Amino acid sequence: MSHLFLYTCAEGFQSPVNALQPALDKMHAQVAELESHYQFVAVQGLSHTATPMMLDTGSTLRHAKSGYLVTVTAVVEVSDQPLGLLGDDSDANRQNGDSQIGGWT
Protein backbone atom coordinates (compact mmCIF):
# COMPACT_ATOMS: atom_id res chain seq x y z
CA MET A 1 0.00 0.00 0.00
CA SER A 2 1.01 3.60 -0.61
CA HIS A 3 -0.19 6.83 0.92
CA LEU A 4 -1.04 9.99 -1.00
CA PHE A 5 -1.58 13.48 0.36
CA LEU A 6 -4.44 15.39 -1.26
CA TYR A 7 -4.82 19.15 -0.95
CA THR A 8 -7.45 21.61 -2.13
CA CYS A 9 -8.54 25.13 -1.27
CA ALA A 10 -11.40 27.50 -2.04
CA GLU A 11 -12.49 31.03 -1.18
CA GLY A 12 -15.95 32.22 -0.19
CA PHE A 13 -17.62 35.43 0.98
CA GLN A 14 -19.30 36.05 4.36
CA SER A 15 -19.32 32.53 5.91
CA PRO A 16 -16.71 29.75 6.04
CA VAL A 17 -19.40 27.37 4.75
CA ASN A 18 -19.37 29.25 1.44
CA ALA A 19 -15.73 28.23 1.00
CA LEU A 20 -15.85 24.82 2.70
CA GLN A 21 -18.36 23.23 0.33
CA PRO A 22 -16.42 24.01 -2.87
CA ALA A 23 -13.19 22.79 -1.24
CA LEU A 24 -14.87 19.53 -0.18
CA ASP A 25 -16.34 19.11 -3.67
CA LYS A 26 -12.83 19.40 -5.13
CA MET A 27 -11.54 16.86 -2.59
CA HIS A 28 -14.36 14.47 -3.48
CA ALA A 29 -13.43 14.78 -7.15
CA GLN A 30 -9.81 13.92 -6.37
CA VAL A 31 -10.80 10.83 -4.37
CA ALA A 32 -13.19 9.76 -7.15
CA GLU A 33 -10.35 10.09 -9.66
CA LEU A 34 -8.13 7.88 -7.51
CA GLU A 35 -10.94 5.31 -7.23
CA SER A 36 -11.01 5.08 -11.01
CA HIS A 37 -7.27 4.30 -11.09
CA TYR A 38 -6.65 2.03 -8.08
CA GLN A 39 -8.16 -1.21 -6.81
CA PHE A 40 -8.22 0.03 -3.20
CA VAL A 41 -8.67 3.61 -1.93
CA ALA A 42 -9.27 4.57 1.72
CA VAL A 43 -9.23 8.04 3.28
CA GLN A 44 -7.13 7.69 6.43
CA GLY A 45 -7.36 11.27 7.67
CA LEU A 46 -8.96 14.58 6.75
CA SER A 47 -8.40 18.06 8.13
CA HIS A 48 -9.45 21.56 7.19
CA THR A 49 -8.70 25.16 8.12
CA ALA A 50 -10.76 28.31 7.61
CA THR A 51 -8.80 31.58 7.51
CA PRO A 52 -10.64 34.92 7.52
CA MET A 53 -9.36 37.31 4.89
CA MET A 54 -10.35 40.14 2.59
CA LEU A 55 -11.27 38.87 -0.89
CA ASP A 56 -11.33 40.80 -4.15
CA THR A 57 -14.90 41.07 -5.43
CA GLY A 58 -13.73 41.03 -9.05
CA SER A 59 -15.68 44.16 -9.87
CA THR A 60 -14.20 47.02 -11.86
CA LEU A 61 -14.10 49.12 -8.66
CA ARG A 62 -11.67 46.54 -7.19
CA HIS A 63 -12.88 46.74 -3.61
CA ALA A 64 -12.39 43.95 -1.08
CA LYS A 65 -15.05 42.12 0.90
CA SER A 66 -14.66 39.95 3.99
CA GLY A 67 -14.48 36.23 3.32
CA TYR A 68 -12.64 33.00 4.09
CA LEU A 69 -9.97 30.81 2.59
CA VAL A 70 -10.58 27.14 3.37
CA THR A 71 -7.98 24.45 2.85
CA VAL A 72 -8.70 20.73 3.04
CA THR A 73 -5.98 18.10 3.35
CA ALA A 74 -6.43 14.33 3.29
CA VAL A 75 -4.21 11.28 3.66
CA VAL A 76 -5.37 8.52 1.34
CA GLU A 77 -4.15 4.93 1.24
CA VAL A 78 -4.15 3.30 -2.20
CA SER A 79 -3.22 -0.14 -3.45
CA ASP A 80 0.19 -0.52 -5.03
CA GLN A 81 -1.47 -2.14 -8.04
CA PRO A 82 -3.33 0.34 -10.27
CA LEU A 83 -6.36 -0.71 -12.28
CA GLY A 84 -5.66 -1.52 -15.94
CA LEU A 85 -2.66 -0.09 -17.74
CA LEU A 86 -1.97 3.35 -16.34
CA GLY A 87 1.65 3.67 -17.37
CA ASP A 88 3.91 5.35 -14.84
CA ASP A 89 3.11 7.04 -11.52
CA SER A 90 3.00 10.54 -13.01
CA ASP A 91 -0.79 10.71 -12.47
CA ALA A 92 -0.27 10.42 -8.71
CA ASN A 93 2.10 13.39 -8.60
CA ARG A 94 0.48 16.00 -10.79
CA GLN A 95 -0.90 19.36 -9.78
CA ASN A 96 -4.28 20.54 -11.06
CA GLY A 97 -5.02 24.22 -10.53
CA ASP A 98 -5.28 24.80 -6.79
CA SER A 99 -5.64 21.08 -6.06
CA GLN A 100 -2.69 18.83 -5.50
CA ILE A 101 -1.99 15.11 -5.17
CA GLY A 102 1.37 13.96 -3.86
CA GLY A 103 2.48 10.59 -2.61
CA TRP A 104 4.93 8.56 -0.56
CA THR A 105 5.32 4.83 -0.10
* Per-residue model confidence as pLDDT tens digits over 3-19: 999 999 999 999 999 99
Domain 2-80, CATH:
3.30.1660
- Pair 74, 5: CB distance under 8 Å: yes
- pLDDT for 102 beyond 70: no
Rounded to whole angstroms, the Cα distance separating 34 from 91 reads 9
Mean pLDDT of 14-31: 96
Residue (of 68, 59, 76) closest to 21 by Cα position: 68
Task: Look at 91 and 28; give whichever has higher pLDDT.
Answer: 28
Mean pLDDT in residue range 22-38? 95
Q: Residue 6 and residue 99: Cα distance in Å, rounded? A: 8
Average pLDDT over residues 41-62: 89
pLDDT > 90 in the chain, percent: 64
For residue 22, pLDDT over 50 is answered with yes
Report the C-alpha gap between 39 and 43 in whole angstroms: 14
Q: Which residues contact 88 (CB under 8 A, 6 or more apart)?
A: none
Q: pTM of this prediction? A: 0.73
Q: Give the residue from 22, 21, 25, 27 showing the smallest Cα distance to 7.
A: 27
